[in-house]
């Protein structure tokens, strides 16, 4: 309800019959609806997970030595990735959006890797080609040109899991 005061020789108060409540309610609904909108999908958090490689270029990863593993950790704050590729530790950078994932500046130690060196070399070559990803439950799949090239199984990392 709105009141208008007019000043003339006599002061009179008139009631304006325009009710603003429906307009205010509509404004509130629009504000709440637009406030809840997000642009695009949310980027998943890949941190605090040890991503163990299970398949590479369509082949199940079976290493000759059980102590050798191929895995990666993501550091979302710094956009860094690191892990182990069978025998050698590696590190680098990554960029991620809701569907795109690329790796860059990958470096690694250079220890001899008898028995599992082929897996390691193929893994590093594959990382260079990755352009997209999917994440479903605890399975991270990396793609190159719409073809799955690497599949990782996620394991929650704890304070005892070495990150480097």
The answer to whether position 68 is within a domain reads yes
- Sequence length of the chain is 164
Please check whether residues 30 and 72 belong to one and the same domain. no
Please check whether residues 140 and 75 belong to one and the same domain. yes
Please check whether residues 15 and 67 belong to one and the same domain. no
Distance CA 124, CA 84 (A): 11
11-58 tens-digit pLDDT: 555 555 566 565 555 555 544 444 444 445 677 889 999 999 999 999
- What is the number of structural domains in the chain? 2
Q: Using the predicted structure, report yes or no on whether residue 69 has a pLDDT greater than 70.
A: yes
Nearest to 152 by CA among 108, 79, 106, 101: 101
Domain around 82: 49-156
Q: Looking at residue 125, which CATH number applies to its domain?
A: 2.40.128.270
Please check whether residues 27 and 85 belong to one and the same domain. no
Identify whether the C-beta of residue 130 lies closer than 8 Å to the C-beta of residue 149.
yes
Specify the pLDDT at position 148.
98
The answer to whether position 40 is within a domain reads no
Please check whether residues 133 and 71 belong to one and the same domain. yes
Average model confidence (pLDDT) across the chain: 83
Please check whether residues 99 and 62 belong to one and the same domain. yes
Please check whether residues 72 and 146 belong to one and the same domain. yes
164 or 74: which leads in pLDDT: 74
Distance CA 120, CA 124 (A): 6
Mean predicted confidence (pLDDT) in 91-96: 98
Query: Considering the entire predicted model, what is its pTM?
Result: 0.72
When mean pLDDT is compared across 10-14, 113-117, 133-137, the lowest value belongs to 10-14
Please check whether residues 61 and 11 belong to one and the same domain. no
Please check whether residues 31 and 54 belong to one and the same domain. no
């Amino acid at each position: 309800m709105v009141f208008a005061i007019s000043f003339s020789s006599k002061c009179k108060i008139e009631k304006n019959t325009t009710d603003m409540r429906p307009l205010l309610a509509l404004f509130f609904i629009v504000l709440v609806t637009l406030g809840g909108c997000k642009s695009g999908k949310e980027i998943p958090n890949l941190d605090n997970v040890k991503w163990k490689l299970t398949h590479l270029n369509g082949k199940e990863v079976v290493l000759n030595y059980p102590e050798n593993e191929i895995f990666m950790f993501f550091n979302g704050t710094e956009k860094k990735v690191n892990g182990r590729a069978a025998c050698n530790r590696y590190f680098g950078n990554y960029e991620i959006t809701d569907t795109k994932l690329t790796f860059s500046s990958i470096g690694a130690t250079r220890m001899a890797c008898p028995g599992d060196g082929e897996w390691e070399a193929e893994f590093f070559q594959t990382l260079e080609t990755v352009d997209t990803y999917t994440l479903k439950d605890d399975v991270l799949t990396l793609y190159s040109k719409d073809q799955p090239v690497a599949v990782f199984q996620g394991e929650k990392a704890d304070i005892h899991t070495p990150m480097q």
